[in-house]
Chains A and B, each alone.
Chain A
Amino acid sequence: MANKSVWSDNRFWARSAAWISGFASVLLIWLTFDTSVQISMGTDSDLKNGVTKRVPAPTVINYKITYEMSAKRGHEVPIIGGNDGKGMSLFQEKEKFFGKDDWSEKEAAEMLHLGKLASQTKNCMNCHTLLGNGAYYAPDLTKAWLDPAWSSTGALQPMTGKTTKEEAMAEFLQHPSKYPTHARMMPNLGITEKEARGLVAFLKHMSSIDTNGFPRNFGKMQGAVNGK
């Protein structure tokens, strides 16, 4: 028989498989270190010193948040505390959240912690998507805080009888089936007032995460005719 080809040799493929799998895993671990640093939560002093973090500190709830086009990035980014005109956050303009705009680092962190716990124990993700992951039965919550429907001119805030966005959202979360806007309703999940506040803090914080422009054009188009 002629010389056996390496290409049909089991040992060659076994060793190649081992090398490729092992090395791809090493690269993934390297990338994970790089990414982990970038997505670690910022601190209150980052906000005060104008340091842009992909995931800002919990005290971001003290600031005004918007979602605007950045020419440099080529997509929308969360803008915290005002826009410098070039698509970067100024970290200046504050916004009252449940009556105050000076929640301490500890208070804000506690609220966020409660909210994240509630989001899991109440199972938001098996109806909604968060950051686009989860279930498709209800609207994506990534930027829910910025949804025009919750603004003072939107349809939902007046419906709950509240005069601020955060109070309206908290009221809705506690008694969702009291405020139906569609046949498909959100059920009562036994959310307490404290949990509801935590959840709203969690939603506001999530809207400040830099998601590389997802969702695109959020809240920019209203009243357009859909393609029925």
Chain B
Amino acid sequence: MIEPLTDVVPSFFAILNQGPLTLTIFLHTIIVLPMIWVYKQEKARLDSEA
């Protein structure tokens, strides 16, 4: 499951680099997840305006 590190320098990103998905899933997730808070705030605003 865990692939051995192949890169020259074992940096944080190099360790996360585990085939096609791990590193990008991680990055996509931390980019997209916080939209939940934006959503909640805007919902509260719309509700209070309604």
Q: Does A152 contact B (CB under 8 A)?
A: no
B residues 30-50 in Cβ contact with A at 8 Å: 30-32, 34-35, 38-39, 42-43, 45-47, 50
- Decide if the interface of chain A is mainly helix, strand, loop or mixed: helix
Complex Cα spacing A6 to B11, Å: 40
Decide: A4 near B39, CB < 8 A? Known: A20-B31, A54-B8, A210-B8: no
Contact between chains at B31 and A24 (CB < 8 Å) = yes
Residue of B with least CB distance to A5? B46
Min CB gap B47→A, angstroms: 7
Q: Which residues of B contact A54 (CB under 8 A)?
A: 8
A12 contacts which of B9, B39, B50 (Cβ < 8 Å)? Answer: B39
Q: Which residues of B contact A73 (CB under 8 A)?
A: 6
Q: Which residues of A contact B13 (CB under 8 A)?
A: 31, 34
Contact between chains at A12 and B31 (CB < 8 Å) = no
Residue of A with least CB distance to B27? A27
Q: Does A16 contact B (CB under 8 A)?
A: yes
A9 contacts which of B6, B9, B42 (Cβ < 8 Å)? Answer: B42
Residue of A with least CB distance to B13? A34
Complex Cα spacing A31 to B14, Å: 11
Q: Which of A12, A27, A38, A72 is packed against the most chain B CB atoms within 10 Å?
A: A12
- 5 new A-B pairs (CB below 8 Å) besides A20-B31, A34-B13, A73-B6? A12-B39, A12-B42, A15-B38, A16-B38, A23-B30
Binding site for B on A (CB under 8 A): 3-4, 6, 9, 11-12, 15-16, 19-20, 23-24, 27, 31, 34, 38, 52-54, 72-74, 210
Ordered by A's residue number, 24 sampled pairs between the chains whose C-beta atoms are within 8 Å are A3-B46, A4-B46, A6-B39, A6-B46, A9-B46, A11-B42, A11-B45, A12-B39, A12-B42, A15-B38, A15-B42, A16-B35, A16-B38, A19-B38, A20-B31, A23-B30, A27-B30, A27-B31, A31-B13, A34-B13, A38-B9, A38-B11, A52-B8, A72-B6
Binding site for A on B (CB under 8 A): 6, 8-9, 11-13, 27, 30-32, 34-35, 38-39, 42-43, 45-47, 50
